[in-house]
Copies of this chain bind each other. A is one copy, B any other.
Amino acid sequence: MTANIETSAQNDKNLLGKQWTELLDRIVENSTRETERKQDRSRRTERQILNAALRVFARDGISRSRIADIAAEAGISTSTLYEYYKSKEDLAYEIPMHHLAEFYAKYRDAAPYTLSARERLVLYLTMSTDYAREHAEWARLLYLEIWPSVFVSETELRHRINDFVRVIHFLIDEGKAEGWIAADRNNYETTALIVGGSNQIIITWLLYRTPKNLTKAGAELAERIVRLLEMEAG
């Protein structure tokens, strides 16, 4: 009987593991855009545009940015830019997508199901703050413009951002299963605590460069949040 229970638990674990892998694979896949350009020159130009746009958007804000500036920054003509992106909006969506895809891929590779949910959560928060630090311009765009924006409504991008929260939801469920998150706690509330706290220090850093060491602060906060939840669960 004990064996049965263990087997059952084992099955559950395998099932969850499969779901976890599937979740991340799907997220990575959805956020990864197929680049259809073939020639090398073309691919190089596309990268130049992306980099330039990121710089300009982060500097001036999306709505104040002029595509002429982006093109100039990329060292190409305005019309060439339109060969790659059919509108300013189009470009403004591509930028965050690009990095989101990279982040998700990185995390997927770093967080196998062999780690506990607790470990995976801490890793998730740590990696996301660290990724923000490493790509500050992109983070500025995502956390201060895109994420809060009403205007992302019902776009592909919106779903990709929601994926970020979806991962945490999944981990909270696992955390409850593992017993270190109080089962009677509302998931939305817990999520708000985790995501809100994590984003808040990123935003504070983006605006004031405080704390100095974002990576360390992110890791510490992640650990602290998890401990608080553990305490709460008793």
A189 touches B217 (CB 8 A): yes
A143 at the interface (CB under 8 A from B): yes
**Interface stretch of the complex, out of A14-22, A116-124, A200-208:** A200-208
A64 touches B63 (CB 8 A): yes
A61 touches B231 (CB 8 A): no
A201 touches B197 (CB 8 A): no
On chain B, the residues within 8 Å of A200 by CB distance are 191-193, 195-196, 199
B150 touches A144 (CB 8 A): yes
What's the Cα separation between A64 and B63 when bound, in Å?
Answer: 8
Instruction: Quote the shortest CB–CB distance from A124 to chain B (angstroms).
Output: 16
A193 touches B150 (CB 8 A): no
A133 at the interface (CB under 8 A from B): no
What's the Cα separation between A149 and B60 when bound, in Å?
Answer: 11
Residues in A119-146 with C-beta less than 8 Å from chain B: 140, 143-145
Asked, given contacts A61-B151, A149-B144, whether A201 binds B192 with beta carbons under 8 Å apart, the answer is yes
A143 touches B149 (CB 8 A): no
B150 touches A148 (CB 8 A): no
Instruction: Quote the shortest CB–CB distance from A233 to chain B (angstroms).
Output: 11
Instruction: Quote the shortest CB–CB distance from A128 to chain B (angstroms).
Output: 13
On chain B, the residues within 8 Å of A221 by CB distance are 189, 192-193
Residues in A160-203 with C-beta less than 8 Å from chain B: 186, 188-189, 191-193, 195-201, 203
A211 at the interface (CB under 8 A from B): yes
What's the Cα separation between A192 and B217 when bound, in Å?
Answer: 11
What's the Cα separation between A186 and B210 when bound, in Å?
Answer: 12
A228 at the interface (CB under 8 A from B): yes
- Within 8 Å by CB of A201, from B64, B140, B189, B227, lies B189
What's the Cα separation between A207 and B151 when bound, in Å?
Answer: 10
